[in-house]
Amino acid sequence: MANVIRTIDLFAGAGGLSHGFELAGRGYEPVFAVEIDDAAARTFKRNFGCEVYTGDIEMVEDFREGEVIIGGPPCQGFSPLGRNRDDESRAQLNELWQQYLRAVHEVKPKAFVIENVPEFQRSAQFAELLHLMESDPLLKEYSFGYGVLHAADYGVPQSRRRGIFMAVRGVDEVPWPPPPTHGPESPGERPYATVRDVIANLPAKPKADEIGWDGERQDLHLRRNPRPMSLERYKAIPEGGNRFDLARNRPDLLPDCWRNKPTGTTDVMGRLWWDRPSVTIRTEFYKPEKGRYLHPVADRPITHREAARLQSFPDEFVFEGSKIEVARQIGNAVPPLLGKAIAEHVHRVAFPDHGSKNGDE
């Protein structure tokens, strides 16, 4: 147990952030998680085996002991995609981060990490967090760093930006950001991981209709059954194209809602590029009308397996729930490789003299 760093994951989802901490190989071990969504909680339990409280974090009476608290309070209150919420529900969502701080006060970890959408760091709630870090008797013991990290800079084959706040108790400073491993700021300017890198070896024509098993691995490479008109629309869109290519190539197939709106997002009904990171994978990646989710060359949207790989989940990671529930877990997750980079940074700053499972430090 001497080399174990116990982690507590709040608002844990499927466990992308916890899996990233595991991938770091620094001795991190989940001991407790809180997740309100039943399917996501079952996924976390299946993959990590620790105690999971399934329900509202406000109902947790006491948290387990641990050295690191991680987690991402629900982001819809800050995200542009959540702007249609009423003021009361938005306020309730935004205040959930205070439950996170309740856990910090109870557990008094060596370090904690808050993950959220970039908008959180421009919110009144974040300004209040910064005030508390300077005025609260316990929180004043923590140095902190924060900013927006680009997942592609850390090996994720996806353009996805997340706001990360990292605090460590008993150190003079928290250097920021974590050193990039890919892209122009990385050592040797290592190229970004691309769509081709992670999904090119999957069959162009999936065969499964439902989540099942292919030998010892979960089969998430699921086909859909588009209407003939939808299939014709897909065929009219080239690699990297979008609904505007559809308008040029097959105006007869253009829906009136797009015909009457000649401007707007270029990602709708978009096709991915092979040799670039993907766009941000969201919860409805299986609907091309929601974004740039068409396969680079196959006339279909990306599958659950492809989306999971673009989020940097390994095929061995098992998801629980229906197809819609699994898609939601994939789209809401912190990419594990981004989590790994954060975990390594936490280890460098908070546990510099701590051993690792790999015995390399």
Output Rg (C-alpha) for the chain, integer angstroms: 21
**pLDDT at site 219:** 97
Q: Tell me the pLDDT of the chain averaged across its residues.
A: 91
Total domain count, the chain: 2
**Per-residue tokens: 50:** 């620790």
Report residue 361's pLDDT band, with 50, 70 and 90 as the boundaries. Answer: very low
**pLDDT at site 314:** 98
- 16 and 73 in a single domain? The answer is yes
Please tell me the distance from the alpha carbon of residue 98 to that of residue 167, in angstroms, as a whole number: 15
Quick check: is 50 catalytic? no
Q: How many CB atoms lie within 10 A of CB 85?
A: 15
- 148 and 225 in a single domain? The answer is no
**pLDDT at site 358:** 46
- In-domain check, residue 166: yes
- 49 and 145 in a single domain? The answer is yes
- 126 and 214 in a single domain? The answer is no
Q: What is the mean pLDDT of residues 144-172?
A: 98
Which of 79-93, 94-108, 269-283, 330-344 shows the lowest mean pLDDT across its residues?
Answer: 79-93
Q: What is the mean pLDDT of residues 291-311?
A: 98
**Residue-number span of the structural domain to which 188 is assigned:** 5-192+334-350
The residues, ordered by sequence, that sit 6+ positions from 251 with a Cβ below 8 Å of its Cβ are: 259
- In-domain check, residue 359: no
- In-domain check, residue 180: yes
- In-domain check, residue 87: yes
Report residue 73's pLDDT band, with 50, 70 and 90 as the boundaries. Answer: confident
DSSP for residue 282? -
The residues, ordered by sequence, that sit 6+ positions from 317 with a Cβ below 8 Å of its Cβ are: 19, 47, 308
Element (H, E) at 10: strand 5-10
Report residue 84's pLDDT band, with 50, 70 and 90 as the boundaries. Answer: low
Q: What is the mean pLDDT of residues 276-286?
A: 97
**3 state SS of 188:** helix
- 14 and 129 in a single domain? The answer is yes
- CB-CB contact of 151 with 17 (8 Å): no
Report residue 6's pLDDT band, with 50, 70 and 90 as the boundaries. Answer: very high
Please tell me the distance from the alpha carbon of residue 25 to that of residue 12, in angstroms, as a whole number: 20
Report residue 123's pLDDT band, with 50, 70 and 90 as the boundaries. Answer: confident
Residue 237 predicted with pLDDT over 50 = yes
CA dihedral (90, 92, 97, 98) in degrees, to 10, reads 140
- 269 and 122 in a single domain? The answer is no
- 253 and 184 in a single domain? The answer is no
- In-domain check, residue 200: yes
**pLDDT at site 360:** 45
- In-domain check, residue 358: no
- CB-CB contact of 222 with 209 (8 Å): yes
Tokens 């924060």 -> residue: 146
- 154 and 172 in a single domain? The answer is yes
Report residue 359's pLDDT band, with 50, 70 and 90 as the boundaries. Answer: very low
Q: In this structure, what CATH number is given to the domain that contains residue 43?
A: 3.40.50.150
Q: In this structure, what CATH number is given to the domain that contains residue 239?
A: 3.90.120
**pLDDT at site 267:** 81
Q: Which of 14, 57, 75, 114 is catalytic?
A: 75
- 212 and 118 in a single domain? The answer is no
Q: Could you tell me which of 236, 235, 231 has the C-alpha nearest to residue 247?
A: 236
- 338 and 326 in a single domain? The answer is no
Residue 57 predicted with pLDDT over 90 = yes
The residues, ordered by sequence, that sit 6+ positions from 359 with a Cβ below 8 Å of its Cβ are: none
Residue 92 predicted with pLDDT over 50 = no
List the strands of the sheet with 28-35, edge to edge.
51-54, 28-35, 5-10, 68-71, 111-116, 161-169, 142-150
- 293 and 200 in a single domain? The answer is yes
- 210 and 175 in a single domain? The answer is no
Q: What is the mean pLDDT of residues 232-255?
A: 93
Rounded to two decimals, the pTM is 0.92
Report residue 147's pLDDT band, with 50, 70 and 90 as the boundaries. Answer: very high
- In-domain check, residue 357: no
The residues, ordered by sequence, that sit 6+ positions from 204 with a Cβ below 8 Å of its Cβ are: 295, 297, 298
Report residue 83's pLDDT band, with 50, 70 and 90 as the boundaries. Answer: low
- In-domain check, residue 112: yes
